[in-house]
Amino acid sequence: MLDERDRKILSLLQADADRPVNEIADAVALSASACSRRIARLREEGYILRSTLELDRGKMGLPTTVFVIVRTGSHAADWLEKFHAAVATIPEIVEVHRLTGNFDYIIKIVLPNVEHYDVVYKQLVGRIELFDMSAYISMETVKASRGLPTHYA
């Protein structure tokens, strides 16, 4: 069970995983060693899965986002396995979600430009049969939160 200090520590680490322990400790009114032990416990208990860093998409040459809505004609286990393998091998595909409702999947693709979508499209349809694909170009990112709310745990 998390207490308020744990939640605050997790929020601070989500905002900046490189933040020094002494800064986090000051923010939650703990000694650096006590804070370090809490962070270790949060890792051991599985609240912290890993630490990563976020790259600047513009500087990496990937300013364009395309969302693709997919409908499939099959839900067989072998098709699902092929689909999972296909999307895993295309680095521009950064997220895939299985949906309820009229569509089966939504795919988030990051690209150097809109024209490059055709390259990714051909890679995907060359690996797996899809019933329907519709692409939507993101014009603006209104919110892109990387952190999770911490008050539910």
Q: Are 94 and 54 in contact (CB under 8 A)?
A: no
CATH code of 64-137, in short, is 3.30.70.920
Crossing angle between the packed helical segments 4-15 and 32-44, to the nearest 10 degrees: 80
- Tens of pLDDT, residue by residue over 43-93, are 999 999 999 989 999 999 999 999 999 999 888 999 999 999 999 999 999
Provide the CB-side half-sphere exposure for 43 (13 A, CA): 10
Please report, for the chain, the start and end positions of each structural domain, with discontinuous segments joined by +: 4-44, 64-137
Residue from 17, 78, 61 nearest 42 by CA:
17
d(CA 8, CA 19): 13
pLDDT at 104: 96
Angle in degrees, CA 48, 53, 56, rounded to 5: 145
Looking at domain 4-44, its CATH class is mainly alpha
pLDDT at 124: 97
